[in-house]
Structure 1
């Protein structure tokens, strides 16, 4: 944690789900949907007005992140006409937007890890990003869990070539089941993170939101000590420990809170806005 007096973030790294987005019940027959609360939007705008770079960092694929950047009205604080930086797919894909341009991607051979997991959870679902479209999946995922079009594809075809990220999901298991399984398997040659449910992201070794943000920060001339990062999931732990100030959302599991320098309010309490207003109020 950077704690010297007068410190102010030069770069703000923000997770999306559980950090920026709040679920709103449609009511009256309307569909439940995600929104960026006004308090969060306005706090982000104050950070931009103060000259801070704001970078979204998520496990989402790029096509699931760019609409959020647009909702937040993100722009580069120094050169507003320049493209934004976005860290997608848990750091495996670095994007400039708009229009969306992939500038860096890390890939790996996922087949050994996928087969090892499926030996323990043979009914688990597997997904690979289909760039700009949605996902290729071994079977349909539960409604609403993946954005874009879902293209059912044979498992062997899914992992026949190097990929940047794999999602494995077992609706019949729990997050604790997946945490225990991953620890037992080791998953050599692959990094992994378990979500809120029995959801596992597989990625290249050494790749995380932190490594993706490091790539971006270097190009913006910002050191890790000048970064404020806010997140709520296990896939945010590396980012929170890498940043000069790492802040966990109030609803984060204890493992994530323990990795942070500070814990803010929950997503329903607009905790991200509360933290941003400490520095850009």
Structure 2
């Protein structure tokens, strides 16, 4: 199969723990583009978290917010927000539990508690600007994803009480919240359909729990050497760690470099 498009997760895939893109990954993507193969970001992050990273990597298109917001070379192709009824239930339950929420729109994001330590710790790990405070932001803007700030032993009530939502942990004190059918694979499929491509013509790189569906969908799913152990069964190949040439080595394995 001749691969025509490659999807890259960001954290732990394109960037290391310091949120820096290794020079060899930038060079590999430059060479990939020279062959006519399209590089696309596929991330749980919102666009305002990665615009500079995308520019540095030379990538113009993305599947963001875990499949909720897809842009191809400046054109919006797919948008999926969380229904207001589900957001209302989430706000009510999290309030009872004392857990903070951060609501992500496509151009800005806000917390519903001011100065919450778990929000600070989780967002600080992303090395991005911290959210503002606007408790009712979810009532006035389309919300594509929510950060739920709780620890693993506190999360068990959410899936059972909120079946319309999906919860994916990305930090010891934070989970992504999205519609139950939402995933990066949803957004990738929308982009492939728009481009007239088949999943078999795509490659995807990832390292986290929110990459499972993406690696299953594409023709070649590549897990980074630093991946979460639970992701590995979903991968067709395991490359080296991000700081050990993982992107370059994976593209070589795929026959793209």
* TM tier, smaller: 0.7 to 0.9
Q: How does 1:120-269 map to 2 (within 5 A)?
A: 121-122=97-98, 124-132=99-107, 134-138=108-112, 139-140=114-115, 141-142=119-120, 144-145=124-125, 147-148=128-129, 150-154=131-135, 157-160=136-139, 163-170=143-150, 173=151, 176-177=152-153, 180-182=156-158, 185=160, 187-269=162-244
Q: Aligned pair in 2 of structure 1 residues 94, 105: CA closer, same or farther (>3 Å)?
A: same
Secondary structure of 2:222's partner?
strand
CA distance in structure 2 between the partners assigned to 1:261 and 1:114 by the alignment: 39
Is 2:88 the partner of 1:111? yes
CA contact (8 A) 2:25 2:248 kept: yes
TM-score (norm 1): 0.79
CA distance in structure 2 between the partners assigned to 1:203 and 1:56 by the alignment: 19
Question: How many Å apart are 1:114 and its aligned residue?
Answer: 4.0
Query: C-alpha deviations, 1:71-128, integer Å up to 9, x for none?
Result: 0123xxxxxxxxx331111111112445xx5443111222213433454x42x22111
CA distance in structure 2 between the partners assigned to 1:116 and 1:257 by the alignment: 33
Aligned residues: 245
Question: How many Å apart are 1:223 and its aligned residue?
Answer: 0.5
Is 2:1 the partner of 1:21? no
1:90 counterpart residue number? 66
Runs of 5+ unmatched residues, structure 1: 1-6, 25-33, 75-83
CA contact (8 A) 1:196 1:233 kept: no
Query: C-alpha deviations, 1:165-223, integer Å up to 9, x for none?
Result: 111123xx2xx43665555x262111221114232111123221001011111112210
Secondary structure of 1:23's partner?
coil
CA contact (8 A) 2:16 2:22 kept: yes
CA distance in structure 1 between the partners assigned to 2:249 and 2:154 by the alignment: 33
Which stretch of the first structure deviates more once superposed, 101-110 or 224-233?
A: 101-110
2:24 counterpart residue number? 39
Deviating above 6 A after TM superposition, structure 1's stretches of 4 or more consecutive aligned residues are none
CA contact (8 A) 2:106 2:144 kept: no
RMSD of the alignment, in Å? Answer: 2.2
CA distance in structure 2 between the partners assigned to 1:240 and 1:179 by the alignment: 26
CA distance in structure 2 between the partners assigned to 1:233 and 1:268 by the alignment: 16
Question: How many Å apart are 1:149 and its aligned residue?
Answer: 5.1
Secondary structure of 2:61's partner?
strand
CA distance in structure 2 between the partners assigned to 1:241 and 1:15 by the alignment: 14
